[in-house]
Amino acid sequence: MHPADVTLQQSFPSIMVPRLSKLESMTRAGERLLIAANGVFLEITRPWLRVVRRLGGFQHRTAIPYGNASEETDLLCGRIPAQLIGEFAEMARAACPKETGAWVVWNTWTHAFRLVPVQILEHSAGHLKYDRPALAENDVLVVDCHSHGRSPAFFSSTDDEDDRHDVKFAFVLGNCAAPVPSLALRLCAKGILEAIETVPAEWYAAASLEVLA
Protein backbone atom coordinates (compact mmCIF):
# COMPACT_ATOMS: atom_id res chain seq x y z
CA MET A 1 0.00 0.00 0.00
CA HIS A 2 1.21 3.51 -0.77
CA PRO A 3 2.58 5.25 2.36
CA ALA A 4 0.18 8.16 1.81
CA ASP A 5 -2.77 5.74 1.87
CA VAL A 6 -1.49 4.25 5.12
CA THR A 7 -1.33 7.74 6.65
CA LEU A 8 -4.83 8.58 5.43
CA GLN A 9 -6.29 5.36 6.83
CA GLN A 10 -4.60 5.98 10.16
CA SER A 11 -5.98 9.52 10.34
CA PHE A 12 -9.49 8.53 9.24
CA PRO A 13 -9.99 4.80 9.90
CA SER A 14 -12.98 2.61 9.10
CA ILE A 15 -14.14 0.49 12.04
CA MET A 16 -16.47 -2.49 11.98
CA VAL A 17 -19.06 -2.15 14.75
CA PRO A 18 -18.87 -5.30 16.92
CA ARG A 19 -21.99 -7.39 17.17
CA LEU A 20 -21.39 -9.06 20.52
CA SER A 21 -19.42 -6.44 22.44
CA LYS A 22 -19.29 -2.70 22.98
CA LEU A 23 -17.43 -0.49 20.52
CA GLU A 24 -14.30 0.97 22.10
CA SER A 25 -14.42 4.76 22.49
CA MET A 26 -12.00 7.02 20.63
CA THR A 27 -9.11 7.99 22.88
CA ARG A 28 -8.30 11.30 21.19
CA ALA A 29 -9.81 13.94 18.92
CA GLY A 30 -10.45 12.80 15.37
CA GLU A 31 -12.93 11.14 13.02
CA ARG A 32 -13.69 7.60 11.97
CA LEU A 33 -16.22 5.73 9.85
CA LEU A 34 -18.34 3.12 11.58
CA ILE A 35 -19.48 0.26 9.36
CA ALA A 36 -22.60 -1.17 10.97
CA ALA A 37 -25.39 -3.57 10.03
CA ASN A 38 -27.74 -0.59 9.74
CA GLY A 39 -25.52 1.65 7.62
CA VAL A 40 -22.36 3.72 7.56
CA PHE A 41 -21.90 6.28 10.31
CA LEU A 42 -19.47 9.14 10.89
CA GLU A 43 -18.11 9.52 14.42
CA ILE A 44 -16.41 12.79 15.37
CA THR A 45 -14.69 13.42 18.68
CA ARG A 46 -13.44 16.76 19.93
CA PRO A 47 -12.50 17.81 23.48
CA TRP A 48 -15.91 19.51 23.78
CA LEU A 49 -18.14 17.25 21.66
CA ARG A 50 -18.75 13.70 20.51
CA VAL A 51 -21.21 13.19 17.67
CA VAL A 52 -22.26 10.18 15.59
CA ARG A 53 -24.38 10.62 12.47
CA ARG A 54 -25.62 8.14 9.87
CA LEU A 55 -24.23 8.87 6.41
CA GLY A 56 -26.28 6.30 4.53
CA GLY A 57 -27.58 2.76 4.23
CA PHE A 58 -26.93 -0.18 1.93
CA GLN A 59 -28.56 -0.45 -1.48
CA HIS A 60 -29.05 -4.23 -1.25
CA ARG A 61 -30.24 -6.45 1.59
CA THR A 62 -26.87 -8.12 2.03
CA ALA A 63 -26.34 -9.75 5.42
CA ILE A 64 -23.80 -7.59 7.26
CA PRO A 65 -22.33 -9.53 10.21
CA TYR A 66 -21.76 -6.45 12.36
CA GLY A 67 -23.65 -4.73 15.14
CA ASN A 68 -25.93 -1.72 14.83
CA ALA A 69 -24.85 1.87 15.44
CA SER A 70 -27.00 4.81 16.51
CA GLU A 71 -26.86 8.57 16.17
CA GLU A 72 -25.53 10.24 19.31
CA THR A 73 -24.65 13.73 20.53
CA ASP A 74 -22.62 14.25 23.70
CA LEU A 75 -21.91 17.87 24.63
CA LEU A 76 -18.80 17.17 26.68
CA CYS A 77 -18.25 20.83 27.55
CA GLY A 78 -21.64 21.13 29.24
CA ARG A 79 -24.31 23.74 28.69
CA ILE A 80 -23.26 26.87 26.78
CA PRO A 81 -23.86 29.94 29.00
CA ALA A 82 -26.76 32.07 27.78
CA GLN A 83 -24.94 35.12 29.18
CA LEU A 84 -22.46 34.91 26.29
CA ILE A 85 -25.32 34.95 23.79
CA GLY A 86 -26.52 38.11 25.53
CA GLU A 87 -23.04 39.62 25.21
CA PHE A 88 -23.00 38.85 21.50
CA ALA A 89 -26.46 40.38 21.10
CA GLU A 90 -25.09 43.61 22.61
CA MET A 91 -22.21 43.52 20.09
CA ALA A 92 -24.67 42.93 17.25
CA ARG A 93 -26.90 45.83 18.28
CA ALA A 94 -23.87 48.13 18.57
CA ALA A 95 -22.73 47.17 15.05
CA CYS A 96 -26.22 47.31 13.48
CA PRO A 97 -27.01 47.84 10.62
CA LYS A 98 -23.63 46.27 9.79
CA GLU A 99 -22.84 42.62 10.45
CA THR A 100 -20.38 41.48 13.10
CA GLY A 101 -19.04 38.21 14.48
CA ALA A 102 -17.55 36.47 17.51
CA TRP A 103 -16.69 33.00 18.77
CA VAL A 104 -17.81 31.28 21.94
CA VAL A 105 -14.77 29.28 23.00
CA TRP A 106 -14.22 26.72 25.75
CA ASN A 107 -10.95 26.07 27.56
CA THR A 108 -10.14 22.39 27.89
CA TRP A 109 -8.10 22.99 31.07
CA THR A 110 -10.23 25.46 33.02
CA HIS A 111 -13.60 24.43 31.49
CA ALA A 112 -14.46 28.13 31.25
CA PHE A 113 -16.39 29.66 28.35
CA ARG A 114 -15.75 33.13 26.95
CA LEU A 115 -16.74 35.29 23.97
CA VAL A 116 -13.95 36.30 21.57
CA PRO A 117 -14.64 38.90 18.82
CA VAL A 118 -13.43 37.99 15.33
CA GLN A 119 -10.94 40.23 13.51
CA ILE A 120 -13.17 42.08 11.05
CA LEU A 121 -11.62 42.87 7.66
CA GLU A 122 -14.76 44.14 5.89
CA HIS A 123 -18.38 44.43 6.95
CA SER A 124 -21.58 45.97 5.69
CA ALA A 125 -25.32 45.44 6.08
CA GLY A 126 -25.12 42.25 4.03
CA HIS A 127 -21.51 41.11 4.18
CA LEU A 128 -18.92 40.08 6.75
CA LYS A 129 -15.30 39.16 6.02
CA TYR A 130 -13.05 38.35 8.94
CA ASP A 131 -9.99 36.51 10.17
CA ARG A 132 -10.38 33.85 12.80
CA PRO A 133 -9.46 35.21 16.23
CA ALA A 134 -6.24 34.31 18.00
CA LEU A 135 -7.13 31.90 20.80
CA ALA A 136 -5.44 31.25 24.11
CA GLU A 137 -3.75 27.92 24.72
CA ASN A 138 -6.28 25.09 25.07
CA ASP A 139 -9.19 27.24 23.83
CA VAL A 140 -11.44 25.49 21.30
CA LEU A 141 -14.24 26.87 19.13
CA VAL A 142 -17.74 25.85 20.21
CA VAL A 143 -20.10 28.44 18.68
CA ASP A 144 -19.34 30.58 15.61
CA CYS A 145 -21.62 33.64 15.88
CA HIS A 146 -22.45 36.30 13.32
CA SER A 147 -25.19 38.88 12.99
CA HIS A 148 -27.41 40.00 10.12
CA GLY A 149 -28.06 43.61 11.07
CA ARG A 150 -31.71 44.43 10.38
CA SER A 151 -32.26 41.28 8.27
CA PRO A 152 -33.69 38.01 9.66
CA ALA A 153 -31.48 35.22 10.94
CA PHE A 154 -30.80 32.49 8.36
CA PHE A 155 -27.92 30.52 6.84
CA SER A 156 -26.87 31.51 3.33
CA SER A 157 -25.18 29.43 0.65
CA THR A 158 -21.97 31.28 1.57
CA ASP A 159 -22.43 30.12 5.17
CA ASP A 160 -22.96 26.55 3.93
CA GLU A 161 -19.65 26.63 2.09
CA ASP A 162 -17.80 28.30 4.97
CA ASP A 163 -19.13 25.75 7.48
CA ARG A 164 -18.57 22.64 5.37
CA HIS A 165 -15.27 21.56 6.92
CA ASP A 166 -15.81 22.69 10.53
CA VAL A 167 -16.98 21.01 13.71
CA LYS A 168 -18.94 23.61 15.67
CA PHE A 169 -22.29 25.18 16.32
CA ALA A 170 -23.09 28.05 13.94
CA PHE A 171 -25.33 30.81 15.29
CA VAL A 172 -26.94 33.77 13.52
CA LEU A 173 -28.65 36.70 15.25
CA GLY A 174 -30.92 38.76 13.01
CA ASN A 175 -33.33 41.70 13.35
CA CYS A 176 -30.76 43.15 15.73
CA ALA A 177 -32.60 46.43 16.30
CA ALA A 178 -35.81 44.67 17.37
CA PRO A 179 -36.66 44.14 21.05
CA VAL A 180 -36.74 40.40 20.35
CA PRO A 181 -34.21 39.43 17.63
CA SER A 182 -34.49 36.38 15.40
CA LEU A 183 -32.10 33.49 16.06
CA ALA A 184 -30.88 30.56 13.94
CA LEU A 185 -28.70 27.72 15.19
CA ARG A 186 -27.23 24.59 13.62
CA LEU A 187 -24.66 21.89 14.24
CA CYS A 188 -21.84 21.68 11.69
CA ALA A 189 -20.02 18.35 11.60
CA LYS A 190 -17.66 17.86 8.65
CA GLY A 191 -20.23 18.63 5.98
CA ILE A 192 -23.30 17.63 7.99
CA LEU A 193 -25.28 20.85 8.51
CA GLU A 194 -28.05 20.02 10.96
CA ALA A 195 -30.58 22.73 11.82
CA ILE A 196 -31.60 22.96 15.47
CA GLU A 197 -35.28 23.77 15.21
CA THR A 198 -35.73 24.90 18.81
CA VAL A 199 -33.15 27.45 19.93
CA PRO A 200 -32.86 27.36 23.76
CA ALA A 201 -35.39 29.68 25.40
CA GLU A 202 -32.69 31.13 27.64
CA TRP A 203 -30.80 32.27 24.53
CA TYR A 204 -33.84 34.24 23.41
CA ALA A 205 -34.20 35.73 26.88
CA ALA A 206 -30.52 36.72 27.01
CA ALA A 207 -30.59 38.27 23.52
CA SER A 208 -33.81 40.23 23.98
CA LEU A 209 -34.31 43.78 25.20
CA GLU A 210 -37.72 42.97 26.66
CA VAL A 211 -38.56 40.39 29.29
CA LEU A 212 -40.00 37.22 27.76
CA ALA A 213 -42.71 35.32 29.59
Residue 39 CA: distances (Å) to CA of 12, 64, 101, 121, 125: 18, 9, 38, 44, 44
| Pair (112, 203) in one structural domain | yes
Q: Domain for residue 186, yes or no?
A: yes
Predicted local confidence at residue 11, as pLDDT: 87
Taking alpha carbons only, the member of 16, 14, 17, 56 closest to residue 192 is 56
Q: Domain for residue 122, yes or no?
A: yes
pLDDT digits (tens, 9 = 90+) for 74-132: 999 999 999 999 999 999 999 999 899 999 999 999 999 999 999 888 888 778 888 89
Overall number of domains in the chain: 2
The string of DSSP letters for 129-156 reads: EEEPPP--TTEEEEEEEEE-TTSPP---
| Pair (101, 52) in one structural domain | no
| Pair (70, 90) in one structural domain | no
Q: Domain for residue 212, yes or no?
A: no
Check which CATH number belongs to the domain holding 101 and give it.
Answer: 3.40.140.10
Tell me the percentage of the chain whose pLDDT exceeds 90: 80
The string of DSSP letters for the chain reads: --HHHHHHHHHS-EEEPPSSSPPPPPSSSEEEEEEETTEEEEEEEETTEEEEEEEE--SS-----S-----EEEETT-PPPHHHHHHHHHHHHHHTTS--EEEEEEETTT--EEEEE-EEEEE-SS-EEEEPPP--TTEEEEEEEEE-TTSPP---HHHHHHTTT-EEEEEEEE-TTSSS-EEEEEEEETTEEEE-SS--HHHHHHH-SS---
| Pair (162, 103) in one structural domain | yes
Q: Which residue range is the domain that position 103 belongs to?
A: 82-207
pTM for this prediction: 0.92
| Pair (202, 105) in one structural domain | yes
Predicted local confidence at residue 175, as pLDDT: 97
Domain termination residue (choose one: 17, 45, 75): 75
| Pair (59, 98) in one structural domain | no
| Pair (90, 192) in one structural domain | yes
Q: Domain for residue 11, yes or no?
A: yes
Spans of the chain below 70 pLDDT: 210-213
Predicted local confidence at residue 8, as pLDDT: 86
> Please, what's the largest Cα pairwise distance for the chain?
63
| Pair (120, 38) in one structural domain | no
Domain termination residue (choose one: 16, 43, 75): 75
